[in-house]
Amino acid sequence: MSAPTVRTGLTPDRPAPARPRGARRVVENDDYARFTRRILAAHARRIGSGDIEGLTDLSRLPTEIDAITADAVTGLRAAGFSWAEIAARLGTSRQAAHQRYGCSRP
């Protein structure tokens, strides 16, 4: 049996930079967020062109987004991110973020 061959063209010259403890590799979150905004805008245009039945579902999205955001915050806390880091991304204070998404949340 022969030894494995390393193809140097595919091997990085230097190791990948270390990520902070608890940080996960971000893949395409910016692209995904832009795609989500395009979908929501297209949905609103479709409703605006006469699909009045869709207005009910569209009006429920803020509540669903709040619940999904709470799940994301829970995941970030479990990954080791501080309330200060989370609050900075939410554009609020650490105390407000904790009050809204902390353990006392129903």
- What pLDDT score does 28 carry? 78
Q: Is residue 20 part of a domain?
A: no
- Taking the C-alpha atoms of residue 31 and residue 27, their distance in angstroms, rounded to an integer, is 9
Say what the pTM is.
0.65
- Taking the C-alpha atoms of residue 71 and residue 7, their distance in angstroms, rounded to an integer, is 42
Could you read off the pLDDT tens digit of each residue along the chain, which spans 106 residues?
555 555 555 555 555 555 666 666 666 788 889 999 999 999 999 999 999 999 999 999 999 999 999 999 999 999 999 999 999 999 999 999 999 998 654 4
- Taking the C-alpha atoms of residue 42 and residue 13, their distance in angstroms, rounded to an integer, is 44
Q: Is residue 64 part of a domain?
A: yes
- Domain count for the chain: 1
Q: Is residue 23 part of a domain?
A: no
- Taking the C-alpha atoms of residue 14 and residue 12, their distance in angstroms, rounded to an integer, is 5
Domain encompassing residue 37:
29-101
